[in-house]
Structure 1
Amino acid sequence: MFYISKILWGLAEPSTLLIALLAAGAVLLFTRFSRTGRWLVATAAVLGVIGGFSPLSTWLILPLEDRFPRADLSGRPIDGIVILGGAEDSRVAAARGAHALNMSAERMTEAAALARRFPDARVVFTGGSIEVLSAPTYEADAARHLLSDLGIDGERVLFDRQARNTAENAHYARRLADPKPGERWLLVTSGWHMPRAMGLFRKAGFELEAWPTDYRTIGPKDAWAPFASPGAGLHRLDFVTKEWIGLLFNWLSGRSDRLLPGP
């Protein structure tokens, strides 16, 4: 199921569909269906401009990023911290023997700051291999070296190398953490990913408090700001569309109790 979902999404993401429309139209221009070809090329151009320059993807990401505020860290102490993988470029890290982070790097830096702030809290990192066409490398291995170099004692961190998606993150993290009633656990992941993650963790029986990070907007003030480059707009459109499709699938399949989980 994991591999099928990866392949299907690779074919269905907006930027891929735009390229497919453009390529199909270009081919048809040299056939007796040239009129259809012109229509496809024009459609791809219009959709590319809308997706690449307009704030469409910002309108889609704002409800996700603003859904969960950060937990109030006063009061009872924090007993544990769960870090979701996705910030590590484990393939580059393994090949270069160096730390390699992507645009979600704040997942790791915020988690390390929390771990230092709450030295008695247990830490669980969950992230396995997501490669489909290449030899597997593991997010947990890259995270182990990074957290150690950031001053987090490896003895207090439990690493899950099996999870390949968020549903598996929830399953394996709960198994490793074995949370007790009354404990306070924080979930560290991207703000735009927090609703989907929370829905899956709750369904897995693991109640956590949100610590969103890796924000891509400053808030509602960004709602009408265009993108400076089409690549940036289409990149955001790709991953935020995936989030909404994931939310819908999890709700319809019973893996989450709500379409858009909230606090």
Structure 2
Amino acid sequence: MLALAPLAILASASPPITQWLLDLAQDAPSSIAPAPHPCTAIVVLGAGIDQDAHSSRPSLAGHSRLMAAAQRYLACERNGETCAVLVSGGATTPDSATEADVYARELIALGVPAGHIVREQASVNTWQNARNSSRIIQHDSLRVVLVTSGLHLKRSLIYFRHFGVVAEGLPSDRLRAAAGWLPSAYNLLLIEVMVHEYIGVLRYRVYNGMGWNEESIRQDSVTPATTTRALQH
């Protein structure tokens, strides 16, 4: 097994196999325009921030999520829908700005009104994103659109469903393997990210079976009003 492990790693990093694995792991963007809905909450999951002595900026993955969320919000407006954007993400280090604040600033620059942005500033991982956001947005009359990276979407939807929110997935990107036939370090990085996502789903299943996860929530059990007020403004 030890002798075969390097060969398996090299094989998985070859472009055809990496791309096949990516296609299995990523939810493809829908080519069908979403039907109008009276009230829509667009939830954007944080992807980290880059911070220096002068400024805080969204990470590269964060930019793609912001663009997808802003485009979805503007489509809501064009369709005459009532929409709000919930940005979920806390501080990545004790002395840094929260992802929610940094992303909200960028959304405003992209044309989303400040009054239609709700900030969830306590989450530091995907599980907390789902738990904390569900307490804010859970409402029977809302359609929830979950915006995150393609590789991250499947696990995120599972976590949100655990906390009572059945969301529509909107992948902000679709990664592709490096071109060619030889294994590459870039493809190895993609494999690592995919394994991380699969481990997250497997851990969720195991923890559920062992009773270690927080109790799941029925969709109709809680109806907080924070996002509803934002939608009514």
Alignment: residue pair count: 206
Residue 161 of structure 1 pairs with residue 121 of structure 2: yes
Contact 2:98 2:121 in 1 (8 A): yes
Render the CA deviation track for 1:84-130: whole Å, top value 9, x for unaligned.
Answer: 111x4x242x5332634314532110101112222430211101134
2:18, 2:118 → 1: CA distance?
36
Q: CA deviation at 1:163?
A: 0.7
Equivalent-residue separation in structure 1 for 2:64 and 2:158 (angstroms) = 22
CA RMSD in angstroms, aligned pairs only: 3.1
Map 1:114-125; keep pairs closer than 5 Å.
114-119=72-77, 120-125=82-87
- For structure 2, the 5+ residue unaligned runs are 215-233
Residue 139 in 1 paired to residue 93 in 2? no
- Correspondences of 1:159-238 after superposition (within 5 Å): 159-177=119-137, 179-217=138-176, 226=180, 230-238=184-192
Rate the CA distance shift 1:185–1:196 in 2: closer, same or farther, 3 A: same
- Name structure 1 gaps, 5 residues minimum: 1-39, 257-263
> Is contact 2:28–2:171 with CA below 8 Å preserved after alignment?
no
Note if 1:73 corresponds to 2:27: no
Task: Name the aligned partner's letter for residue 125 of structure 2.
Answer: N
Post-superposition CA distance 1:54-84 (Å, at most 9, x none): 4443333222213784775124344211111
Secondary structure class of the residue paired with 1:207: coil
Report the more deviating stretch, 233-242 or 62-71. 62-71
Percent same amino acid among aligned pairs? 24
Residue 20 (structure 2) pairs with residue 59 (structure 1): yes
The question of whether the paired residues in 2 share the 8 Å contact of 1:91 and 1:137 is answered with: no
With normalisation by structure 1, the TM-score equals 0.67
Greater C-alpha radius of gyration: 1
- Equivalents in 2 of 1:135, 1:176: separation in Å? 26
Tell me the SS of whatever aligns to 1:121: strand
State how far apart, in whole Å, the 2-side matches of 1:51 and 1:199 are.
Answer: 26
Q: Check whether the contact 1:170–1:201 (CA below 8 A) recurs between aligned residues.
A: yes
Partner of 1:108: 66
| Structure with the higher fraction of residues in helix conformation | 1
3-state DSSP of counterpart to 2:193:
helix
Distance 1:70 1:200 in 2: 25
Aligned residue type for 2:121: R
Q: 2:223 matched to which residue of 1?
A: none
SS in 2 for 1:123: strand
TM-score calculated relative to the size of structure 2: 0.74
Which structure features the higher share of strand residues? 2
Output the CA distance in 1 between the equivalents of 2:195 and 2:5.
Answer: 18
